[in-house]
Chain A
Amino acid sequence: MNFNLYYGDLMSSPAAKISIGSHPVGGRQRLDLRPSSPQQTAAVVTIGAAPFRLASLAAKTAMPGVGPPPPLDVQRARILGIGVVTEGRISQFFKVLSQVTEVGMPPPYVYVDDEGLVAEWSFPGHEVSLHSEAPEGLWAHVSDMKADTYKERHLATDGSGPAEFVGWVQDLVTPR
């Protein structure tokens, strides 16, 4: 799964419990997110503003038994803002992003706000979002702007939530 990413300069705040490193890989910038110790489960991520660069992103978590999510390069997206996320949430978030990508979802707009990680997609007549919030966890939302209705689902770590969300987006990306 490869996307491309626009992102701002990244800094870890003094309170950060996930270190953020950025280093050149093959002429591109590679970004690693990883906990600085197994006991540390939360992070405050402060991400600066311009200049923005085309880069690749690799997000890695070190949760025992979970393993790292696949490398993620988010095309035409920006990760910005201030967020509080747990490594487990990061892993879940990227896992669901992988699942929806596999059914044909285009690259999302991804950012970090003061509630956590957010991915957004826009389709004609529909707005789709995936939120990783502490402490609630993953939420998926689809707004039907023409019908003026919405669907929302809490995506538990296991269970039918992610599959249902994948089904929603599959309906959107499948040509009729």
Chain B
Amino acid sequence: MTSHRARLEDQDELLHRQVHPHMWKVVEGRPSSSAFRPSKKDDGQLSVARGSKVSAEEAYRRYVARGLSSSGVWSTVAEVTAVGLVAYDDPLPDDDAHAFIDFRDHKRGEIEHISNKLRSFACARLSYRPEGDAP
């Protein structure tokens, strides 16, 4: 399925992940790990935006322009590789920076554990949070 999609190899490239307000833990001041794992409807593909094509702020603007909600952008980099995952370029008609992190070969327990690790990485590099958005 991914044969026509280019694997992202640049370990320094940022991958911006939008965090839905539902996944923002107010008291802890950080997102839920569920923001960093695909839900069933995602078919094992966690959407991100490529940092080589858009800034974190621009990724946020594109996201909300599609009518979606976000509490901000958290970015992950070589950590995706470090946790045993692969990211693929996956441009969309309305977002050429779209990519996804591939969870499809992992079992649910692994996915949960990996998402905890990705959340920890991402929280260390919060890259954009819109003013006045904090719930």
* Interface residues, chain A, with chain B CB atoms under 8 Å away: 6, 49-50, 52, 76, 78, 80-81, 109, 111, 113-115, 118, 120, 122, 127, 129, 139, 141, 143, 145, 148-150, 152
Contacts and interface: CB of A to CB of B under 8 A. Distances in A.
B25 interface: yes
Contact of A113 (B21, B22, B108, B113): B22
Contacts of B75: none
B112 A118 contact: no
A79 to B, nearest CB: 10
Contact of B112 (A114, A122, A152): A152
Interface size class on chain B is 20 to 34
Interface in B55-86: 69
Given A76-B27, A113-B39, A122-B28, A150 B22 contact: no
Q: Interface majority SS on B: helix, strand, loop or mixed?
A: helix
Given A114-B39, A114-B40, A127-B33, 9 more contacts: A49-B135, A109-B25, A113-B22, A114-B41, A141-B112, A143-B116, A143-B117, A145-B120, A152-B109
B18 interface: no
A81 B22 contact: yes
B45 interface: no
B6 interface: no
B47 interface: no
A109 B41 CA distance: 23
